[in-house]
Amino acid sequence: MRNISFALTTEQVRNQTKDVTRRLGWLRLKPGDVLQPVIKNMGLGAGEKIEKIGTPVTVVATRQEPLRRMTDEQEYGRRECQREGFPHLTPAEFITMFCATHRGCTPETIITRIQISYRASISAPEQAQHKGKKATVHPLDAREWNQTPTPTTLGLETTHGNSPKGETP
């Protein structure tokens, strides 16, 4: 199982308030892949060990899109800031923060948007639903991806009402 670092969003992952992450690289990831969230994966000092964050997560969907999509489509950008675990940031502030923490990144950089579920695995019908959703650039009709997160879309059960090259934190 592959590790995925959440050094900048450790608390959001612990609290399961983040279901989307943006990465440079990560081009081979596909729905159904299982990843182990960790605090820090690379650059560990002598004697430091990888520290896991909770249980493994499952990739629900991936796609490549320009980072600037968050400001090009403001409503989308606001929703994505929430899903990324930064509801207090504007899309422009998120892009500034992302570029400052990822060397060589600009708003025009094509990033990989990864949607995760905190369940250990997703069902075959759910995998089939997202199969083929990976795109070189964001799809023209992105309505399915632009939904406000709900317990169902986050993979939470409701009862009674409810590194490869290029890996970066």
**Distance of alpha carbon 129 from its chain centroid, rounded?**
18
Instruction: Say if 158 falls within a structural domain.
Output: no
Q: pLDDT tens, 8-20?
A: 999 999 999 999 9
pLDDT score, position 128: 55
Instruction: Say if 93 falls within a structural domain.
Output: yes
pLDDT score, position 123: 54
Strands 34-38 and 57-66: antiparallel
Instruction: Say if 166 falls within a structural domain.
Output: no
Predicted TM-score (pTM) of the model is 0.71
Domain range spanning residue 57?
2-136
Instruction: Say if 30 falls within a structural domain.
Output: yes
Q: What is the C-alpha separation between 111 and 27, in angstroms, rounded?
A: 9
Q: What is the C-alpha separation between 82 and 90, in angstroms, rounded?
A: 10
Q: What is the three-class DSSP state of 140?
A: coil
Q: What is the tally of structural domains in the chain?
A: 1
Q: The domain spanning residue 22 has which CATH number?
A: 2.30.130.30
Instruction: Say if 144 falls within a structural domain.
Output: no
Report yes or no: 109 and 66 within 8 Å, Cβ to Cβ.
yes
Q: What is the C-alpha separation between 36 and 120, in angstroms, rounded?
A: 10
Residue of 140, 116, 90 whose CA lies nearest to 22? 116
Instruction: Say if 155 falls within a structural domain.
Output: no
Instruction: Say if 72 falls within a structural domain.
Output: yes
Instruction: Say if 164 falls within a structural domain.
Output: no
Q: pLDDT tens, 133-146?
A: 543 333 333 333 33
Q: Is 79 left (phi over 0), alpha (psi -120 to 50) or beta?
A: alpha
